[in-house]
Amino acid sequence: MIDLELDDGLAVLTIDRPHARNAISLATMDELEKALDAAAGARALVIKGAGDRAFVSGGDLKELAAIRTEDEAAAMAWRMRGLCDRIAGFPAPVVAALNGHALGGGAEVAVAADIRVAADDIRIGFTQVTLAIMPAWGGAERLAVLVGRGTALLLAGTGAVLGAAEAERAGLVDRVVPRASFGTEWRSLARSLATGPAAEIKKVVGGGTSPDEAVHAFARLWASDAHWDAADRALRRGQ
């Protein structure tokens, strides 16, 4: 099942399938679509797994084993790729809170987010090659953007699994935090994104705005009450 928490502009989506290490089934895909619909309008979105063992362990092999033909496999891949595209295209910042291992399809879900925050004991890897297949949910392309074409081919082509610190050095993970403070850290980061102009900044850093649009976005923020309230507080502190 998928739980959705909505809290003052922050949406937290939790994949909760402990019996399958939070693996993705066809039914999970349906629930994920509904949860993304319900999260529309949030100023920040967090995606995480339940527990502390797995973020998402990939596709649910027991359930997906019924898919045998090329057409069926393509339909499944397009379905989940579309959902990862929705995560990547979410108007507000998306944080993947890697509470546990992110393997195979789980790594693809992780790289669909804008930011990856990981507990220091997790592992992440594009392990599809161990099943004689390849990433199909858009993860290979997104991985190449994050770490470069050569490193992406090395990681996905060998199925290498990285620890959190190594993944951070490679650019695959943005922040690693101690397990003991993980829940506090990701929520604090997400709350900070949800209360600022991060959605507008996401458009600019993603290349989705022209210089003219970026300047006008800045001007709208400058003229807003939120800016002048913050400016007044800063001026008072400086006195």
- Long-range Cβ contacts of 64-70 (<8 Å, 24+ apart): 64/25, 64/26
**CA separation for the pair 19, 21 (Å, rounded):** 6
Catalogue all structural domains in the chain, each as residue range(s) with its CATH number.
2-193 (3.90.226.10), 209-238 (no CATH)
Q: Are 58 and 25 a contacting pair, CB within 8 Å?
A: no
Residues of the chain with pLDDT under 50: none
Q: Of 91, 89, 84, which Cα lies nearest the Cα of 106? A: 84
**What is the reported pLDDT for 237?**
87
**What is the reported pLDDT for 239?**
55
**Residue partners of 175: CB distance under 8 A and separation at least 6:** 115, 116, 117, 118, 168, 185, 189
Q: Are 207 and 201 a contacting pair, CB within 8 Å?
A: no
**What is the reported pLDDT for 46?**
98
pTM beyond cutoff 0.85: yes
**What is the reported pLDDT for 231?**
92
Give the phi and the psi of residue 106 in degrees, each rounded to 5.
-65, -35
Q: Of 113, 126, 106, 132, which Cα lies nearest the Cα of 53? A: 106
Query: What count of other Cβ atoms lies within 10 Å of the Cβ of residue 192?
Result: 12
Q: Are 167 and 118 a contacting pair, CB within 8 Å?
A: yes
**What is the reported pLDDT for 24?**
97
The distance from CA 56 to its chain's CA centroid, rounded to whole angstroms, is: 11
**What is the reported pLDDT for 56?**
97
**What is the reported pLDDT for 207?**
86
Q: Are 172 and 152 a contacting pair, CB within 8 Å?
A: no
Q: Of 204, 164, 200, which Cα lies nearest the Cα of 92? A: 200
